[in-house]
Amino acid sequence: MKELILIKHLCKEFGKVKALNDINLSIHQGEWLTIMGPSGSGKSTLVNILSLMDNPSSGEYILNGTNLEQLSEEAKRKIRREKIGLIFQQFHLIPYLNALENVMLSQYYHSSIDEEDARNVLEKVGLGHRLNHLPNELSGGEQQRVCIARALINNPELLLADEPTGNLDEANEQIVLEVLQKLKKEGRTIILITHNPKLAEFADRCVHLHYGVLR
Ligand SMILES: Nc1ncnc2c1ncn2[C@@H]1O[C@H](COP(=O)(O)OP(=O)(O)OP(=O)(O)O)[C@@H](O)[C@H]1O
Ligand SMILES: [Mg+2]
């Protein structure tokens, strides 16, 4: 299988805090990797670096054979726009825009507004019947599925989800997991962060972070 991500001796410091301490990790294309670990262990810091939202203090991040250290910020922005989809615990939906408009807003940032496409991704996450609902007219699980639809708008090969079910009950958690499974079947690479050991069962592989050290 092709290697999508290779991380070598990655460190991230915030002042005296070593949030990530010599991380080495390889992730294959199409793999579903779950990252677990207690609060403050560096999970979000790692996701922020993997999604090119933040830079490491030292070490290498090679994505699809490209060493990202050598790229300009503009080139990294381009990769982030084209290759990466992000899902968070907080939904970050605009309250006065309906589901369809929230997805179309993210299209705007990709300079590709297309209502048909936006409708298609919402149908894909099972929300074809909720297009005109405002966030406060949707259940938590439905809101998170709007967020997943939003993350899919650039057809990303890499999906990073930081505690995507942290605000959901078990039934909605299950629905979100089923959507992620469907995306994995399409060949996308998924990196899921969770506190919930039950969710680790869905992954191909599970790694544990402990105070910045990977086990
Ligand atoms: N921007 C920042 N500035 C300073 N310290 C930070 C910053 N971001 C994270 N940290 C510190 O780095 C460590 C790792 O934080 P991180 O958010 O990655 O943890 P986490 O595993 O995602 O925790 P949680 O499960 O609570 O979300 C913590 O000690 C945190 O206080
Ligand atoms: Mg976190």
pLDDT score for 156: 94
pLDDT, tens only, 127-153: 999 999 999 999 999 999 999 999 999
Which residue's C-alpha comes closest to atom 18 of ligand 1? 42
pLDDT score for 111: 77
Q: Is the pLDDT of residue 79 over 80?
A: yes
16 ligand 1 Cβ < 6 A:
no
Question: To the nearest whole number, what is the mean pLDDT of the chain?
Answer: 94
Count CB-CB contacts under 10 A for residue 69: 13
Query: Distance from the CA of 91 to the center of ligand 2, in angstroms?
Result: 14
Element (H, E) at 5: strand 3-14
Q: Is the pLDDT of residue 159 over 90?
A: yes
Residue 120 tokens read as 């298609």
Q: Strand pairing partners for 60? A: 8
Mutating to test ligand 1, I would choose from 10, 14, 39, 194 the residue with most ligand atoms within 8 A of its C-beta, which is 14
pTM above 0.85, yes or no: yes
pLDDT score for 56: 97
Burial of 21 per CB tally in 10 Å (0-12, 13-18, 19+): middle
CA distance 21 to 80: 24
pLDDT, tens only, 160-180: 999 999 888 888 888 889 999
Q: Is the dihedral of CA 80, 89, 7, 55 positive or negative?
A: positive
How does DSSP assign 96-156, residue by residue? TS-HHHHHHHHHHHTT---HHHHHHHHHHTT-TT-TT--GGGS-HHHHHHHHHHHHTTT--
